[in-house]
Structures are given as C-alpha cells and as structure tokens.
C-alpha cells in the first residue's frame, strides 16, 4: 500500500458535516495568523498630562504598574504645559472625538479616547478593557461557587491551573475522538506488535493534541483581538447552551433529531481507512495515514465539543498574562485533554486486549459534557463574573 492509496479513500471529506468543520477551522486559523498584527495596534498608549495635576499623577502610577505587568506596552507621555505643540495636538484630538473642552489626563489607545482618571469610577478598568487585557486583581472578589454535576467549584479558591486541568480532563472524554481511537486500538491489537501499536496510536493522540491546540489558539486570539465585549459573551453563551442541549438530548434520544456526533454514513468508510492503515506494510505510510485520520477527525470533533474550548479560551483571555503564559495554559489544557487517550493507549499496549466503546458509554459521556457545557453557557450569559 502506498501513500496515495491511504489518502484517496478519504472521500468522506465530501460530507457536508466535515466541510462545515473545515470552513470553521479556516476561519479560526486565519484569525490566528492575523492576530499578532492586530494585537500590535493596541500595545501603544498616548497620554496627555499636565504638571501639578493630581489625577495625572495617579494615572501615571497606574500606567507604570500596568507596564510592569505588560512589558510589551509602549506608553508615550505628553506634557501639555511645557510643549505648546502637545497642547495643540490634544485640542485637535479632543475636537475630532467631540470632546470640548479638552481635559487632562487624556488617553488615546486602540482608536479610543478616554478623558480623566479616577480608579473609584472605573477608569483603570476601562483602560485595561480597551487594551484587550483583563484585570487580575483579587481585591473585592467575593466567594463564588459554581454548581456542576461533580459538586461545587469555588472560582476564587480554584486557581487558573486547576480550572484548566478540570475543564481539559472533562473535554478529553469526547465520544467522537475516543470512539475512533478505541476502534484503531482494537484493530491494532491483532498485529501483536507492541512497538507498532504504540507508534501508530501514539501518533494519533499526539497529532490530535496538536491540532486541538491550534484550534484553541485561534479561539484565544479572536478573544484577545475583540477584547471584553458583552455581546460576544451572549452569543458564545447561547451557542454553548445549544450545544449542551443537543448533547443532553443524545442521552435520552440518540439518533433522533439533530446531533453533533460523527454521522453513521461516514463510519464504514472510516473503518475501512483505519484497517488499511493498520495493514500497511510500510510503517511510514501507516504513520502518514493515521496523521490524516487524526486531522480529519478533529475537523468533525470541532462540532462535537466546540463549547468547552470556546468558553475556556474566552475566560483565559480575560486574565492578565504575557503571551507565553496564554500559550502555556493552552498547552496544559491540551495535556489534560489527551490524558485519557494516552492512558487508554498505555493500557492496550501493556495488556494487548481490546476495549470497545459501547453506545451506552457514549451516551453517558455526552450527558456529562452536555451538562457542563450547558452550565458554563448559562453562566456566561447570566453571571459571567463568576467565571472571571
């Protein structure tokens, strides 16, 4: 079997279900490619100040602290009482934005103009929000409890790493990808070669994690670009509620009505492709084939579990983190996401036994994930402050 034989059989790409996933992937990944350019436009602040102005002094202290937290910020100070040209620039800027008379301090950032500074009135939060950042202060936070199917989660006591691991583990129990992996392992067991089983199944899990990471990075960059927009939260919450309801419906009425599972018409051809991959004499061809399967399954999986990664990345984008920190948390989430898959591969390699996902198992997984997504969607729409 050659490389073309493995690829040519993937005619199920023509499925409308998969094409819809591909369109969404292209949209999200285009946002990932453009994010660095768009975010750069919000890394500069012009501040018009005056000596002896107490509000200007407080604003400068706040901006210095913000710059320590966000080293990429470039802050330009303009003393209007020492430089007439700066005063003229302030007057023109104010008139352009319908502000009369001009005042100090005046901030120009991300095509917005903010006049005055008073922390008690929320000016500092307005600046942080306009920059697309999030204030990570623990002051004035009350104990907040989220009721989940697994008990109560206190968001003030739960650190971001813990929340990342919890949601990543829940997201990992995704019937779509787990069903494909278990079928792959059940076929691989027949060859009785632990090394080959580990290589092929391990590549499937690794590629799945990498593709999912790219998908979540695209979501994250969209939210970093857009910033804190209540309308977006409402849309995202409504989408999560819809996804959660469909998953819960599948527990009570599987194969009736709309579903976000892999279509039955796709499964026979996918079965055949997996068998061809396992039977390939050339190990390199088998690894390329299983890589293609992992990528295509993740296109479909985007519709199976879009709710959790979208909500998590929206929450993550509201934290005050450097760029490396954002991607570090995405990596942690994805490690938790593939943990159950890696555990299953290890179990099969050690025991060389078959493990098949029954329909009832898939229904229970859909119920649990549907309830979590539904709760998070409701919180995002009704009480978003509980998540941040």
- Residue whose tokens read 């199944």: 201
Architecture in CATH for domain 44-130: 3-Layer(aba) Sandwich (3.40)
Gap between the Cα atoms of 184 and 181, Å rounded: 5
Please give the structure tokens belonging to residue 313. Answer: 């990345």
pLDDT of residue 374: 84
Closest Cα to residue 216, out of 331, 85, 340? 331
Please give the structure tokens belonging to residue 174. Answer: 């995704």
What average pLDDT score do residues 318-325 get?
77
User: What are the contacts of 72-78 at 24+ separation with CB within 8 A?
Assistant: 72/43, 72/322, 72/323, 73/43, 73/44, 73/45, 73/131, 74/43, 74/44, 74/45, 75/44, 75/45, 75/47, 76/44, 76/45, 76/46, 76/47, 77/47, 77/49, 78/46, 78/47, 78/48, 78/49
Asked if residue 108 lies in contact with residue 101, where contact means CB atoms within 8 angstroms, the answer is: no
Q: What is the pLDDT of residues 178-233, one digit of tens each?
A: 777 787 888 888 878 888 889 988 999 999 899 999 989 988 888 877 665 667 77
Gap between the Cα atoms of 145 and 164, Å rounded: 17
Gap between the Cα atoms of 148 and 361, Å rounded: 20
pLDDT of residue 210: 93
- Where are the chain's structural domains? 9-40+144-387, 44-130
Report the 10 Å Cβ neighbour count for 190.
13
How many Cα atoms occupy the beta-carbon half-sphere of 50 within 13 Å? 16
Asked if residue 51 lies in contact with residue 329, where contact means CB atoms within 8 angstroms, the answer is: no
Q: Which of 7-11, 52-56, 205-209 has the lowest mean pLDDT?
A: 7-11
In order, the DSSP letters of 67-102 are HHH-TT-EEEEEETTT-HHHHHHHHHHHHHTT-SS-
What average pLDDT score do residues 257-272 get?
72
What average pLDDT score do residues 132-148 get?
45
Residue positions counted in the chain: 388
């Amino acid at each position: 079997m050659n490389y073309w034989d493995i690829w040519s059989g993937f005619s199920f790409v023509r499925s409308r279900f998969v094409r819809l996933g591909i369109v969404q992937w292209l949209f999200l990944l285009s946002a990932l490619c453009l994010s660095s350019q768009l975010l750069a436009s919000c890394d500069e602040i012009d501040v018009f100040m005056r000596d002896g102005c107490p509000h200007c002094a407080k604003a400068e202290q706040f901006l210095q602290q913000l710059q320590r937290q966000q080293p990429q910020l470039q802050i330009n100070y303009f003393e209007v009482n020492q430089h007439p040209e700066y005063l003229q620039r302030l007057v023109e800027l104010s008139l352009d934005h319908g502000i009369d008379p001009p005042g100090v301090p005046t901030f120009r950032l991300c095509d917005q103009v903010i006049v005055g500074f008073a922390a008690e009135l929320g000016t500092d939060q307005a600046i942080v929000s306009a920059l697309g950042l999030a204030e990570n202060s623990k002051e004035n936070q009350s104990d907040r409890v989220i009721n989940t199917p697994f008990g109560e989660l206190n968001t003030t006591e739960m650190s971001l790493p813990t929340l990342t691991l919890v949601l990543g583990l829940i997201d990992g129990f995704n019937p779509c990808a787990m069903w494909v992996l278990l079928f792959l392992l059940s076929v691989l067991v027949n060859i009785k070669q632990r090394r080959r089983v580990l290589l092929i199944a391990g590549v499937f899990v690794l590629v799945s994690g990498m593709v999912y990471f790219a998908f979540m990075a695209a979501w994250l960059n969209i939210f970093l670009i857009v910033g804190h927009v209540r309308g977006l939260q409402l849309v995202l919450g409504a989408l999560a509620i819809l996804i959660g309801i469909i998953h819960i419906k599948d527990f009570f009425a599987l194969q009736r009505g709309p579903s976000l599972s892999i279509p039955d018409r796709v499964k026979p051809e996918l079965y055949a492709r997996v068998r061809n991959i396992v039977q390939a004499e050339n190990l390199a061809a088998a690894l390329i084939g299983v890589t293609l399967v992992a990528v295509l399954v993740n296109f479909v999986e985007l519709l199976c579990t879009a709710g959790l990664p979208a909500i998590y990345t929206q929450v993550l984008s509201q934290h005050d983190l450097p760029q490396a920190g954002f991607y570090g948390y995405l990596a942690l989430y994805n490690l938790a996401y593939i943990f159950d898959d890696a555990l299953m591969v290890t179990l099969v390699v050690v025991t060389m036994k078959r493990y098949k996902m029954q329909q009832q198992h898939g229904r229970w997984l859909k119920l649990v994930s549907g309830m979590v997504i539904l709760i998070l969607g409701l919180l995002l729409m009704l009480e978003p402050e509980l998540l941040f």
